[in-house]
Amino acid sequence: MTGGSGGIGGAVAQALAADGMSVVVHYSGSAERAKEVVASIEARGGTAVAASGDVADADDMTNLFDIAHERFGGVDVVVNTAGIMLLAPLADLDLDAFDRMHRVNVRGTFVVSQLAARRLRSGGALINFSTSVTRLQQPTYGAYAATKGAVEAMTLILARELRGKDITVNTVAPGPTATPLFLEGKSDELVGQIAAASPLGRLGTPDDIARTVAFLAGPDGRWTNGQVLFANGGIA
């Protein structure tokens, strides 16, 4: 899985391992966090290995799939949580920032999805990541939401292109989730306001998102295909 060292990504890796899967924990920047996720999985009796790479680089991602094949015999589930978010009003956003997001969020998703389409075994699952901001239409999120709209489009089309292969393709679109990255720089008052927007009266947790992914990755999710699942507690 890509982005496995992040807050949501780490939770997803641990949830899949708890369900009995061997996990390749990908990282691009933080080797230490990825190693911590692997150590946590192994401490609970699971199997995992950390591997680095640029999600937008086809050779790096081919190597990631090769590691999964060599270590574990093949690829049954691909979860693509890697992404970056750079915020500014559309009129003010630096185009270099837009290009960076496009490279990771759109090209990266495309590269990983293309390899998944070629290398997932029958009965497999690809799970990409979008965001509930595509529905919320919040100011300053325009460029980021645009990249995730592209993720949704390619995911839903790929699900139909893989007809007959017994491979499901879905996207998870989290709402506000209490990760360190989300909470950074926000006052308690602002966090409270965001939490109150949900009918459930709280922020999501990484484990909430991880269990949604585990459902799609496991046997109970086999009839869910070509969908965007908004895992947001009803905020949108």
Within 39-175, strands assigned E span 48-52, 75-80, 120-129, 168-174
Predicted local confidence at residue 30, as pLDDT: 80
Q: What is the mean pLDDT of residues 129-150?
A: 94
- Domains assigned to the chain: 7-231 (3.40.50.720)
Residue 33 CB contacts under 8 Å (≥ 6 apart), including other chains: 5, 6, 10, 27
Residue 129 vs residue 190, higher pLDDT: 129
Kindly name the residue from 98, 144, 182, 215 that is annotated as catalytic: 144
Q: What is the mean pLDDT of residues 108-114?
A: 98
Mean pLDDT over the full length of the chain: 95
4-57 tens-digit pLDDT: 888 999 999 999 999 999 999 999 988 999 999 999 999 999 999 999 999 999
Name residue 175's amino acid. G
| 144: annotated active-site residue | yes
Predicted local confidence at residue 213, as pLDDT: 98
Predicted local confidence at residue 1, as pLDDT: 85
% residues pLDDT > 70 (the chain): 100
199-219 tens-digit pLDDT: 999 999 999 999 999 999 999
Predicted local confidence at residue 12, as pLDDT: 96
Least confident of 68-72, 91-95, 144-148, 187-191: 187-191
- CA pair distance 114, 206, nearest whole angstrom: 27
Predicted local confidence at residue 5, as pLDDT: 84
How many CB atoms within 10 Å of residue 14? 24
Name the pLDDT band for 185 (thresholds 50, 70, 90): confident
